[in-house]
Structure 1
Amino acid sequence: MLVAAGIGAGSSPAAAGVAPDGLGAGGAMAAAQAKVSGSARISFVYSPDDDIRFTFDVEAAPFTRPLPGLPKGLPTDARGTVRISHHVAGADHAVTSEAAVDCLVTGDRTASFTAVITRADPEVADTVGQRRGFSVLDGGSPRHPDRVGFSWGVVNVDDTDPGRPVEGKVGTCMAPAPFAPVISGDLTVRPGELAPMPAGGR
């Protein structure tokens, strides 16, 4: 079971609408933009000998992704990149994927976000175009390690086809709890409150 089937484009705070000096329009203090960053190797209980790594560069970009019926987008809109590498024990190479981030929501030391796969190695090429969900817990200390969750492999089963469980569709920002501990590397969650609705509403 390849974890590399999961997985954007980074940007600066200025591009997301935050003034470099932290001041918004009229000199008001701007809210910190939520962000998730870092690289880590996880321990996955069902593939204990595999080398599975995630790299996250995720940043909130509220109301930047217009949708039909939502011309201004959503407060959870985000941008960034997710990279995944999965080296199966005994294999001669790692299988990798990349994806464009489209949604991010944070709370204290946790984050949930989604990304649509834009590039994948031949072994998982059929996942291009699919949305995947991710979660991160920033443990903050060696005694409380970081953790990662992902929306495929052991979760997100749908029974819409009787007698044949299938992988369910992932909606924006939908991800499981961070179930896999980080064994090397470091992940950082910078929380941010949801942005206020723009003038005129949605």
Structure 2
Amino acid sequence: MAHLNIRIMAAAAAVLILATGGTAAATADHGHRPAPREAAALTGSAKLYRPLGDDITFTFDAHLAMKNTMEPEKAYGTFSFSHYLGGKGGWAKGKVDCLVTGGRTAVLTGIVTDSDTPFKGKRVGITVTDDGKHDRLGYSWATPDEDVPVPRCLSGAPFETVKKGSGDFTVLPWQPVFPTE
């Protein structure tokens, strides 16, 4: 019977710690604990490689809070990109509306909030692979029907390469927590 009571108390403590985000553990440690780890993130800036000399830059500051681990559409942050060649091109800035990462690959979508291109007000999708030395990037914003928006959390394969020495992306892997039986 004593073993059963200990198991019940341990399970209740574990549930309490999980439900309060670790507050019970912080109290026992006199309030000193590290900040909760984010559920997912994509940060950094880099230029893409193009043999004709295009100046293409992507920048990300995208995050998914731990409390929203199972709700990637609650991601927040910003992104920007620009593309110039021969003095012509454009730029865009936006707000993240979804972020999913797996291993070293991240997929984010967001709404362009400011731009000198027709992208303003539209959702774009961007994929990044952070392999530490040869990061890659892909995007998806062209649809066959201009009236059909890019869905949240959807983008193309990372087919572009990052220009050597231009920067680096960092992906924090998402670790979804699924209910157990």
TM-score norm. by structure 1 comes to 0.64
Once the two structures are superposed, the pairs formed by residues 123-202 of structure 1 within 5 Å of their partners are: 124=117, 126-141=118-133, 145-152=134-141, 156-158=142-144, 166=146, 168-183=148-163, 184-194=166-176
Query: What does 1:32-71 align with in structure 2 at a 5 Å threshold?
Result: 32-44=38-50, 48-61=52-65
Identity of aligned residues (%): 38
Work out whether 1:117 is the aligned partner of 2:106: no
Distance 1:32 1:97 in 2: 26
Distance in 2 between residues matched to 1:40 and 1:85, nearest whole Å: 11
Q: 1:191 to 1:112 in 2, by over 3 A?
A: same
Find the counterpart in structure 1 of residue 22 from structure 2: 24
Q: Does the 8 Å contact 1:75/1:194 carry over to 2?
A: no
Task: Tell me the SS of whatever aligns to 1:27.
Answer: helix
In structure 2, C-alpha distance between the alignment counterparts of 1:133 and 1:116, rounded to whole Å: 9
Greater Rg over alpha carbons, structure: 2
Partner Cα separation in structure 2 for residue 168 and residue 42 of structure 1: 27
TM-score using structure 2 length: 0.70
Q: How many residues align?
A: 148
For the residues of structure 1 that align with 2:50 and 2:148, how far apart are their CA atoms?
21
Q: Which has the higher contact order (CA 8 A, sep 6+)?
A: 1
Deviation at 1:118, TM superposition (A): 0.3
Name structure 1 gaps, 5 residues minimum: 1-22, 65-73, 159-164, 198-202
Where does the alignment leave 5 or more consecutive residues of structure 2 unmatched? 1-20, 27-33
